[in-house]
């Protein structure tokens, strides 16, 4: 394991979290934030980040355990060593992600984009997304004075989402707010 206080990554992406130790032989629980959770292992070696310390991690082994995974880190054979890693973030560099097809986006690319409707009215910034069975939903931090709550917009490309321009940080939507008094 290599530890450093400096950020070794150019565009860090959070892909999981480290849980508590499992057993006494250096295994530890991890939680994947990926849509297909098992794909987290495609990104090892990766970094664990805790309290501004970056640790490069190489795996010896991993297993599915309940709804998550347990891993064994190369060179670690003691519960007390992995206990120090509990609550670390699992980080990769964005260039490690697969290249997407046209009109496909990673959530981290969408968050913080400014949202305008087709009438050029600024609605706010994307603060999160929700996955549902039928489609994803944009959560917009509302910037309108007359409307106090967050705006939820279905992510249905062409029908509601008219344009996503990552380079200019904007999303154009066909969406009008109905005022209620």
Question: Comparing 2-96 with 107-173, is the CATH topology the same?
Answer: no
Query: Which H, E and C letters describe the chain, residue by residue?
Result: CEEECCCCCCCEEEEEEEEEEECCCCEEEEEECCCCHHHHHHHCCEEEEECCEEEEECEEEEEEECCEEEEEECCCCCHHHHHCCCCCEEEEEHHHCCCCCCCCCCHHHHCCCEEEECCCCEEEEEEEEEECCCCEEEEEEECCCCCCCCEEEECCECCCEEEEECCCCEEEECCCCCCCC
Cα–Cα distance measured from residue 27 to residue 83, given in angstroms and rounded to the nearest whole number = 9
Would you put residue 141 in left (φ > 0), alpha (ψ -120 to 50) or beta? Answer: beta
Q: What is the pLDDT of residues 41-56, one digit of tens each?
A: 999 999 999 998 999 9
User: 139 CB contacts (<8 Å, ≥6 apart)?
Assistant: 126, 127, 128, 129, 130, 150, 151, 152
107-173 carries CATH number 3.40.50.2300: no
CA dist., res. 149 & res. 172, Å (int):
20
Percentage of residues in the chain with pLDDT exceeding 90? 61
pLDDT of residue 2: 67
Tens of pLDDT, residues 58-106? 999 999 998 899 999 999 999 999 999 999 999 999 888 888 888 788 8
Average per-residue pLDDT for the chain: 89
Answer yes or no: is pLDDT of 39 > 50: yes
CATH architecture of 2-96: Beta Barrel (2.40)
pLDDT greater than 50 at residue 181:
no
User: What are the residue ranges spanned by the domains of the chain?
Assistant: 2-96, 107-173
Q: How many CB atoms lie within 10 A of CB 162?
A: 15
pTM above 0.85, yes or no: no
**Pairing mode, if any, of strands 151-154 and 161-165?**
unpaired
């Amino acid at each position: 394991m290599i530890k450093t206080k400096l950020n070794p990554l150019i565009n860090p992406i959070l892909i999981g979290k480290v849980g508590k130790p499992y057993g006494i032989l250096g295994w530890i629980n991890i939680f994947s934030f990926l849509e297909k959770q098992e794909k987290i292992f495609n990104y090892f070696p990766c970094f664990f980040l805790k309290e501004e310390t970056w640790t490069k991690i190489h795996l010896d082994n991993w297993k599915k355990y309940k709804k998550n995974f347990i891993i064994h880190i190369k060179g670690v054979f003691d519960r007390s060593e992995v206990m120090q890693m509990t609550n670390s973030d699992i980080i990769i560099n964005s260039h490690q992600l697969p290249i997407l097809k046209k009109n496909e986006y990673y959530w981290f690319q969408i968050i913080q984009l400014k949202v305008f409707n087709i009438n050029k009215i600024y609605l706010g910034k994307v603060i999160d997304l929700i996955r549902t069975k039928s489609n994803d939903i944009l959560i917009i931090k509302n910037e309108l004075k007359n409307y106090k709550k967050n705006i939820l917009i279905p992510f249905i490309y062409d029908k509601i989402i008219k344009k996503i321009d990552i380079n200019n940080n904007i999303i154009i939507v066909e969406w009008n707010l109905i005022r209620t008094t």
